[in-house]
Structure 1
């Protein structure tokens, strides 16, 4: 199911003229001085998790940026072409990926104040909808000005996913399929830790099933780590090796997923960064 919604963004570009000026918009966006493109600020997904049974609503936002290509002079030197706010309508769709987004209350328009270069497509998720997991995709489709496109050449970030779900630490307990750095596959077990909001991940690196690594899952789904000396992994010769965590995120999609970023280290040596995706069986 798709829902078509329009949002409002403001945009214009600075127009410079001189005998040495080379117009980078020529044959790309036409001669309109308000030329350029719109895109999301980053690829990927935004996550929002809340404690089950919450009585409040949450507000989530997806940043949208207005861009304009650099000004290039005859010597090939680039100058950033900063747009100024005039007014522009941007159209987008909302598509369900997992579950239903029918509960979302989206105002349908967003305005970039004068002098600003970005705005947020903002919506609220009522407490009644925060008891299951859903994922939807927002896709920028067109604008009200033919000379302002959605994306441009290598700058084409036209979609952004949003995941909202209930936070329930107990539901994360179980056996997971592990994929390390997109190559190595094995299994990990996840159990509740003794500390508040903590989980224990066994066999996090796939070489010691008896190892136990602590992570903390915050109510927004983000993962944090204790000091590396609290996460002993194994002994290499006489040298203790630890797991030093960077960040991570948990979602309730596909029965539960943990994405963890960490590296191994000793007291004096740092090893390569690792990316681990755990998908619940």
Structure 2
């Protein structure tokens, strides 16, 4: 009886081990090759004011990056875009797009020959890397909730408006319209002093018991199209958002410490005129 029991236990254990191997063909893959992984774009779009270079963030999923990663990519004009200069489109390789020891990096897209004042849209596609263990993207979007590693990125760039109209929102409802003044900071690219980031009378419009506060700030549009708001008053605790070059809009969310509930935030959209 004991022999039969031991034999049955042995057979069951063997079947279990074989089944695990069948169901997990990639088990221990990273242990065998710690540089195995995927490279992809963190997001699908970037929009920036005209500049000579635009930066698109990259991410590597491998456990380690021992020697740095060169990335080959293709730039194409989008069909409905203005005529993109020949020097901008084509296939390029950027050395050390992700430097040794890092898992995040970027592609620096050359826009130096683009005509300032015209809105362009281009598509950037990751093609290959210099490491055969690194795959380009992984689209698992066939299953709901599955991870998508983007290999295509749409970049737009155009003229920055001289003037804007602003609308401030609370709980997604438009509350107050205003016209801010954005003054370029000397010696800085795409950095502006904004006299009022939400409109001087925004708070009294919410409630007559609130003070009229302008929310002065420094507004920075980064090379990846993200927007940073740095308040220059005690209550103006800053915010962040994004820029759309072709729509000529700046969208951001502001935090504050003026109200009793300092977790309340306000959304603002500036539209070029």
Q: TM-score, with normalisation over the residues of structure 2? A: 0.57
Work out whether 1:39 is the aligned partner of 2:40. yes
Specify which of 204, 223, 226 is matched with residue 231 of structure 2: 226
Offset of residue 188 of structure 1: 1.8
Partner of 1:151: 138
- Other structure's SS at 2:40 match: strand
Offset of residue 186 of structure 1: 4.3
Offset of residue 39 of structure 1: 0.8
Measured on the aligned residues, the alpha-carbon RMSD in Å equals 4.7
> Aligned pair in 2 of structure 1 residues 219, 114: CA closer, same or farther (>3 Å)?
closer
Q: Which residues of structure 1 form unaligned runs of 5+? A: 1-21, 51-56, 69-80, 230-241
Partner of 1:59: 53
Structure of greater Rg: 2
Partner of 2:84: 102
Q: Aligned equivalents of 1:109 and 1:121: distance in 2?
A: 9
Deviations 1:121-180 (CA, angstroms, capped at 9, x unpaired): 333222652223334342446779698241365252334343323334x332x3x45555
Specify which of 238, 241, 246 is matched with residue 253 of structure 1: 246
Q: Aligned equivalents of 1:121 and 1:180: distance in 2?
A: 37
Partner of 1:136: 122
CA contact (8 A) 1:215 1:225 kept: yes
Deviations 1:45-77 (CA, angstroms, capped at 9, x unpaired): 444435xxxxxx722332333323xxxxxxxxx
Specify which of 249, 254, 262 is matched with residue 262 of structure 1: 254
> Aligned pair in 2 of structure 1 residues 160, 269: CA closer, same or farther (>3 Å)?
same
Count of equivalent residues: 224
Q: Which residues of structure 2 form unaligned runs of 5+? A: 1-20, 141-146, 186-192
Specify which of 115, 122, 127 is matched with residue 108 of structure 2: 122
Q: Aligned equivalents of 1:195 and 1:93: distance in 2?
A: 31
Of residues 187-196 and 130-139 in structure 1, the stretch that sits farther from structure 2 once superposed is: 187-196
Partner of 1:239: none
- Other structure's SS at 2:163 match: helix
Q: TM-score, with normalisation over the residues of structure 1? A: 0.56
CA contact (8 A) 1:217 1:250 kept: no
In terms of fraction of residues, the more strand-rich structure is 1
Offset of residue 278 of structure 1: 3.9
Q: Aligned equivalents of 2:261 and 2:99: distance in 1?
A: 51
Partner of 1:163: 156
Partner of 1:188: 177
Q: Aligned equivalents of 2:69 and 2:258: distance in 1?
A: 55
In terms of fraction of residues, the more helix-rich structure is 2
CA contact (8 A) 1:97 1:137 kept: no
